[in-house]
Structure 1
Amino acid sequence: MAASAPLPLPTRYDGDPDRVALVIPGTGYSPARPLLHFARAVLLRHGWTVQELWWQLPDGFADSAMDERIAWVERKVAEAVDAERGACRLLVGKSLGSFAGGLAADHGLAAAWLTPILTLDHVVRALGRAQAPTLLVGGSADRQWDRRIADSTGHEVLELSGADHGLEFDGDPLGSVDILRQVVERLDRFVGSLAAR
């Protein structure tokens, strides 16, 4: 798969240099979008250094084999984690970012997965192996979310009734803002609990 354009440079926000959180985008959901923008704000409030991963998906990405897509995401996330030289302790990812769940499990990294792809065995198996604190957030109207599977992982789960894959209500901006507030509040509690562990 050839890259279609140069990748934007990662954006770094400094806090505690020994506690780095990596924010991982989705397919079309960059770190500038609301869920990840406010995730960064929560992390900074708790003193974390935040590294945002920005990517441009390669041409033909959606048509490539699933194993190739998983490998591409894992490689990009691994490069960002390795660049932190052991200081990366938390992954916060949206949708496609959950393809890196195996990396989180293998490295013992805490994780907050916003709309993880629970219809993909690779992601479900990775979540089952994860021993570090993990938060799973999804909407009941998201076809890639499955509450039964989320609960079976033994991790913290927040399901938002009627929310879609963007954790929004179609045609209801005020209701969508309420959903965003619930996600941010739960993420704030989760990140705060990591300091106590």
Structure 2
Amino acid sequence: MWWQIPDGFAQFTVDDRIAWVERQVTEAIEAEAGACRLIVGKSLGSLACGIAADRNIPAAWLTPILTIDHVAAALRRAMEPTLLIGGSADKAWDSEIAASLRHEVLEVPSADHGLELAADAAGSVEALRHVVSRLDSFIGSLGR
């Protein structure tokens, strides 16, 4: 899904941001009439971790905002297969929280929130190749 961030979003409280994202994701899931088998989200999308956990939907979260308690708590209760991908140089990523969860984790050394390496274009391409490969393997494992 693609969303348009509303005007004034920067002034929303964290709870209002969570509610807005959850509403968008819930509407998309319900539009699929039971066909949603996986949620993949990046950054802001990870505010919907609770939706995946509550609906027992496998998920892959790229650069989840682990510094928000709501996200970490939702990931703790998620029982379906879940993949977390983050960069060690991302301020929204918390290596300790990621490691404490029972989910698959791919931490990209020195990667920022865009999963890129500062001043290293070739290294960034290689890192993203690794991310896509891991995501592909995770998705492929869901059909087994």
2:74 counterpart of 1:126: yes
1:80 aligns with 2:28: yes
The runs of at least 4 consecutive aligned structure 1 residues that moved more than 3 Å come to none
1:173-192 CA-partner distances (Å, limit 9, x unpaired): 11110010000110111011
For the residues of structure 2 that align with 1:194 and 1:147, how far apart are their CA atoms? Answer: 25
- Give the 3-state SS of the residue equivalent to 1:157 in structure 2: strand
CA distance in structure 2 between the partners assigned to 1:150 and 1:55 by the alignment: 27
Q: Deviations over 1:33-82 (max 9, x none)?
A: xxxxxxxxxxxxxxxxxxxx111111110111111110000000000000
- The residue aligned with 1:172 is 120
Aligned length: 144
Q: Shift of residue 147 of structure 1?
A: 1.2
| TM-score normalised according to structure 1 size | 0.72
Unaligned residue ranges in structure 1 (runs of 5+): 1-52
Question: Equivalences for 1:86-125 in 2 at 5 Å?
Answer: 86-125=34-73
Alpha-carbon RMSD across the aligned residues, in angstroms, is 0.6
Partner secondary structure for residue 33 of structure 2: coil
Greater RCO between the two (CA within 8 Å, min separation 6)?
1
TM-score calculated relative to the size of structure 2: 0.98
1:160 maps to what in 2?
108
Q: Which residue of 2 aligns with 1:37?
A: none
Aligned ranges for residues 41-60 of structure 1 at < 5 Å?
Answer: 53-60=1-8
* More helix, by proportion: 2
Q: Which amino acid aligns with 1:55?
A: W
The residue type equivalent to 2:2 in the other structure is W
The percent of aligned pairs where both chains have the same amino acid is 65
> What code does the residue aligned with 1:119 have?
T
Equivalent residue in structure 1 for 2:131, among 173, 177, 183: 183
Greater strand content: 1
1:68 counterpart SS class: helix
Match of 1:136 in 2: 84
Amino acid at match of 1:190: F
